[in-house]
Structure 1
């Protein structure tokens, strides 16, 4: 008889599965049960970032008051019915973004607060979405989903790479996360591989490990192990049958398959159709629990998009941002409407006593307040409840406070997502009040 000694609890392991063993006389098996566990019936938290380049109308991005009586500037009017689930934040900034004072230098570190390399070199830092994906992304099929509605620009503008203004998500300091701008390919990321992690039996996954273990334990332990595995198999079958009959309690994704058809190949010529498809795919990703982390870049900073759908086709987005006229306001509202559309859809999906929006945090931001490159304060709105950790219907103003780093907000968001750090970017403490 082989005697195996382990200093911690022993497990059976397989692809994506770790299953604790019962006590066996042939092995010294014991466990650490001191760590608290989240209830399995609670829906997971999700985090998404929406980006609109070139800022907003200089006089119409504001909010004041609270709850139902909160007043909004005209840019934010599309969010009026969501204001009780909205947190308007004023005064945050990235100190490093002030150094170049140009689109690329203000966007490449928006989600990290990192110093950027100039001279056409590429160096930023891992963005908050990808840091979260690296920590919790293994729990889902996709660690994160990174979407865009305008292709990246590889040129150089005033000594900074335009890749900075084309990407808000960074997997490493030198690697912008691949950006998917084709709706059909984004859809395929969610559903092309139809084998979900839950489709395989736990026992099937650890079968080879169990066979190896049986060869090294006593006959009595083999019997005990077989009884244990049989009981797990029985529970698996009962759960499967209960799920088919609709009896299973606790949280499950509200969809297991897409409820919209696969988009056509290519990029839609209509910018409104393109954005709406990407919005629907993001909702599907959260609804099916394919991922819990997503970024959607509605356009680039220094964007070349035009808006014939709004009757505004005479000027590209970047140039329009310097006008501050009514057409610029219409374009701003069009972008905000995309965020409002997603928030309403998430809020219509029930997850027990909450909605999917209640279990999410949606960050809407730009790299400058308005088109004259003002990054001394960033436009920031948070929507959702963060699984009960985020209270909406409020306006928070940090403009006159000494510690107003945008990265403090990211520390707060990560903490609400279950990832606690001592520092991130140029911040060493979470943002009070969030």
Structure 2
């Protein structure tokens, strides 16, 4: 059988299209990703997909326990970043970047709304509680505008918070600014999905929302997995694969089933009377499990080249979630105004450590997944992790806590601490311009950028 020159293959069943990771056996006879030398938009020099993801954590960090000791490659990870010790070769730390539009001007109070709204846009949001919202196109959507046509999903927007699109949330700012990280236009946010079940169905379901719901209801009634409906195609596909790819397919489908089982478990436990019902069925009660489930789905979307662009809001800025599982019963936002209370500072450092631990889980997951060239999915990614506030106590928007993970298909240097002068307030938008250029997009005027970030 002669395969068409395509990177994407699907196992299709009733209302389903289970995307597969790229495999050598299914590459066109004229060449494969390992021997392709010319890079194209959002492709590495080896022909692998080049991905970008933007991850947001709220309320700033405890800076003395965040930034490492030393610069360049000669640095020592501080307390908060210790979970990343085994991944040192996979990321770089950037200090000194700023969002000047986050600071109060004539707008007055509202730093949490501005921190969130500026993070991926670099633009100052209009202060309004009405429908006349305005900020700017976010970097992920700018990328999607140029590259989204290359994948089944132009971009993927995830969250662990419910959506709020109207009303006033922070000192007269619309809730839209604080509960949306991604903006398609300066007036229109991209709603993020917080329910893992709905993300799963979006990745594997075919048809419109109504059709996907109908097929989902049938699977639930019959208590069958998505994999049950593609079993015939799975057997047929396996006959076309070499030994290594058969093993890769088996590992992949096992991973899909494991994610599906975790979602089903969350749905079952939501039916128990002692469980608080503030979240829809499918959302784990345990916050860490919720984050990791979303990270696994994001990794799956990258592995199968379903999308190359994503954003993930782990929590909105100003979030007052507590972290009883790690011994912090007070709300995050309340603690962030610590006024130099050492007990509160120590509790905030625990929260920072918690978030970095989840981030390390995601990086390790991406590192375990391989592209056709042999490079990891993490090698071929640019993952930005950070917050729109540095010091939550003083509401600072400079010297932001930013980590850039992945090697960008060989275009990024890792295992170093890049320290920019804080007083220069180098726009974070400069980092985004550099990322766009590496994705094959030329757009030097993004946000409040003054050009590309030469050190990246």
Give the TM-score normalised by the residue count of structure 2. 0.72
Residue 125 of structure 1 is matched in structure 2 by 136
Of 129, 139, 144 in structure 1, the residue corresponding to residue 150 of structure 2 is 139
Residue 330 of structure 1 is matched in structure 2 by 350
Shift of 1:135: 1.1
In 2, the alpha carbon distance for the partners of 1:70 and 1:184 equals 41
In 2, the alpha carbon distance for the partners of 1:67 and 1:309 equals 36
> Does 2:118 align with 1:109?
yes
Shift of 1:248: 11
In 2, the alpha carbon distance for the partners of 1:91 and 1:162 equals 28
Query: Is the Cα–Cα contact under 8 Å of residues 178 and 316 in structure 2 kept in the other structure?
Result: yes
Shift of 1:385: 0.5
Of 87, 92, 113 in structure 2, the residue corresponding to residue 82 of structure 1 is 87
SS at match of 2:53: strand
Of 371, 376, 386 in structure 2, the residue corresponding to residue 365 of structure 1 is 386
In 2, the alpha carbon distance for the partners of 1:258 and 1:186 equals 13
Query: Is the Cα–Cα contact under 8 Å of residues 70 and 83 in structure 1 kept in the other structure?
Result: no
Query: Is the Cα–Cα contact under 8 Å of residues 399 and 425 in structure 2 kept in the other structure?
Result: no
Shift of 1:420: 1.6
In 1, the alpha carbon distance for the partners of 2:243 and 2:440 equals 30
SS at match of 1:328: helix
Residue 409 of structure 1 is matched in structure 2 by 431
Query: Is the Cα–Cα contact under 8 Å of residues 80 and 356 in structure 2 kept in the other structure?
Result: yes
**1:84-103 alignment, distance < 5 Å:** 84-99=89-104, 100=108, 102-103=111-112
Report which of the two has the higher share of helix.
2
> Does 2:336 align with 1:321?
yes
Shift of 1:181: 0.6
Which ranges in structure 2 are unaligned for 5 or more consecutive residues?
1-37, 209-235, 268-280, 339-343
Query: Is the Cα–Cα contact under 8 Å of residues 71 and 419 in structure 2 kept in the other structure?
Result: no
In 2, the alpha carbon distance for the partners of 1:241 and 1:349 equals 20
SS at match of 1:79: helix
Superimposed CA distance per residue, residues 188-222 of structure 1 (whole angstroms, 9 cap, x where no aligned partner): 11111299xxxxxxxxxxxxxxxxxxxxxxxxxxx
Query: Is the Cα–Cα contact under 8 Å of residues 427 and 450 in structure 2 kept in the other structure?
Result: no
In 2, the alpha carbon distance for the partners of 1:286 and 1:347 equals 12
SS at match of 1:430: coil
In 2, the alpha carbon distance for the partners of 1:395 and 1:74 equals 15
Residue 444 of structure 2 is matched in structure 1 by 422
SS at match of 2:351: helix
In 2, the alpha carbon distance for the partners of 1:161 and 1:298 equals 20
Residue 234 of structure 1 is matched in structure 2 by none
Shift of 1:168: 1.3
Query: Is the Cα–Cα contact under 8 Å of residues 90 and 397 in structure 1 kept in the other structure?
Result: yes
In 2, the alpha carbon distance for the partners of 1:163 and 1:175 equals 9
Which ranges in structure 1 are unaligned for 5 or more consecutive residues?
1-34, 196-239
Query: Is the Cα–Cα contact under 8 Å of residues 57 and 314 in structure 2 kept in the other structure?
Result: yes
Residue 349 of structure 1 is matched in structure 2 by 369
**Using a 3 Å threshold, how does the CA distance of structure 1 residues 66 and 118 change in structure 2: closer, same or farther?**
closer
Shift of 1:68: 7.1
Shift of 1:318: 0.8
In 1, the alpha carbon distance for the partners of 2:197 and 2:237 equals 34
Superimposed CA distance per residue, residues 115-161 of structure 1 (whole angstroms, 9 cap, x where no aligned partner): 21003241111100111112111111111111101123444221212
Residue 173 of structure 1 is matched in structure 2 by 186
**Using a 3 Å threshold, how does the CA distance of structure 1 residues 241 and 107 change in structure 2: closer, same or farther?**
closer
User: Which stretches of structure 1, 4 residues or longer, exceed 6 Å deviation after superposition?
Assistant: 240-243
Query: Is the Cα–Cα contact under 8 Å of residues 55 and 379 in structure 1 kept in the other structure?
Result: yes
Indicate the structure (1 or 2) with the bigger Cα radius of gyration.
1
In 2, the alpha carbon distance for the partners of 1:366 and 1:36 equals 32
Q: How many pairs are equivalent?
A: 353
**Using a 3 Å threshold, how does the CA distance of structure 1 residues 69 and 243 change in structure 2: closer, same or farther?**
farther
Residue 308 of structure 2 is matched in structure 1 by 292
Residue 6 of structure 1 is matched in structure 2 by none
Shift of 1:39: 8.1
In 2, the alpha carbon distance for the partners of 1:416 and 1:125 equals 22
SS at match of 1:421: coil
Moved more, 165-174 or 100-109: 100-109
Superimposed CA distance per residue, residues 45-78 of structure 1 (whole angstroms, 9 cap, x where no aligned partner): 1111110010111321102446875312211111
